[in-house]
Chain A
């Protein structure tokens, strides 16, 4: 059928490429995010949720796959991308979505109201938890989980907020094995959320 040697070689090459492409789409069992040298314990802090109630991070997220991200609403560039990527994984894996807690903390309490934070998160998934607090409470929360504190630059209404660009993931066993800097690919999220969800506490 494939008399020509070159044709056969080409077909073989195509088959190899297709196989390689398929393999990269499946979960490898290994984390593809930025793996920490030493797994970190989950920090403890209390902030206010979008209902106005106190939210004790460590106890509310106990035994759950937890994703924690600090950002602000006027950030149109990187904040929505992280959250939209996580929401997309949840759309495809409803089992993950049911068990996981996604916690977004606004570090811009002077501009972002609780209602606006709720509206912002509803763009992605209404199950996402939104928190904020006073500047002091936010500083304590960031210190508790080991991210550099957000800093405000500029004056009046025209200011921007420097903030940690990565998402911290905690497995259900309460430890963070990996973080997700900006630029994490959709395939990496899909892989890692499944790997982390399987790390149950004993």
Chain B
């Protein structure tokens, strides 16, 4: 009897775990799951948006992005050269492989908001991401202190 109960409990736990994982991943397999969308509080004419996107069952490409709070949005990548200097260069798009990840983070890839409005820490802004296959998706980005754009610290 004890064994049966514990087995049921284990099954229940397992299904709960699966459910929560599905919930965490959005459970939608036809479009990217975009999380941790954040923008560093502007300290100059531009600001950078970072996020993590999880791929779904087909390859996709982020082809453009827009927001009401900036003149334009460019795709950039910061890379470190052999001598330790850092270069920022524009890219035409960011690809998101099926089941893979697209990570935008400081010191790597980011969306650069050109000519951004004044934003305060704690504000939220809408950013529309246009994917080649999944189409338009509007996500909410939280304005954070630049020190907190790195994630855990």
Q: Smallest distance from the beta carbon of A161 to chain B beta carbons, Å? A: 8
Q: Which stretch of B28-36, B39-47, B128-136 is in the interface?
A: B39-47
Query: Does chain B have a CB within 8 A of A16?
Result: no
Contact code string A73-107 (vs B, CB < 8 Å = 1, else 0): 11111111101110110000000000000000000
Interface contact B88-A160, CB-CB below 8 Å:
yes
Contact code string A41-84 (vs B, CB < 8 Å = 1, else 0): 00000000000000000000000000000000111111111011
Query: Does chain B have a CB within 8 A of A127?
Result: no
Q: Which stretch of B59-67, B91-99, B143-151 is in the interface?
A: B143-151
- Provide the bound-state CA to CA distance between A84 and B88, in Å: 20
Interface contact B153-A162, CB-CB below 8 Å:
no
Query: Does chain B have a CB within 8 A of A185?
Result: yes
Given known A88-B147, A120-B43, A160-B89, contact A78–B84 (CB-CB < 8 A): no
Query: Does chain B have a CB within 8 A of A150?
Result: yes
Interface contact B106-A148, CB-CB below 8 Å:
no
Interface contact B44-A76, CB-CB below 8 Å:
yes
Residues in A whose Cβ lies below 8 Å from that of B112 = 76-77
Selected from A83, A124, A151, A182, the residue in CB contact (under 8 A) with B106 is A182
Selected from A83, A116, A163, A187, the residue in CB contact (under 8 A) with B86 is A163
Residues in B whose Cβ lies below 8 Å from that of A165 = 80, 84-86, 107
Q: Residues of B within 8 Å of A, CB-based: how many?
A: 32
| Residue on A nearest B150 in the bound complex, by CB | A81
Residues in B whose Cβ lies below 8 Å from that of A199 = none
Given known A76-B46, A77-B110, A187-B153, contact A162–B86 (CB-CB < 8 A): yes
Interface contact B107-A186, CB-CB below 8 Å:
no
Residues in A whose Cβ lies below 8 Å from that of B84 = 147-148, 164-166, 181
Residues in A whose Cβ lies below 8 Å from that of B113 = 76
23 contacts between A and B (CB under 8 A): A74-B44, A74-B45, A76-B40, A76-B44, A77-B88, A77-B106, A77-B110, A78-B86, A80-B40, A81-B147, A84-B145, A84-B147, A87-B147, A88-B147, A123-B41, A124-B43, A150-B85, A153-B89, A160-B87, A160-B89, A162-B85, A164-B85, A166-B84
Closest 7 CB pairs of A and B: A84-B147, A80-B146, A186-B153, A165-B86, A84-B146, A76-B46, A73-B44
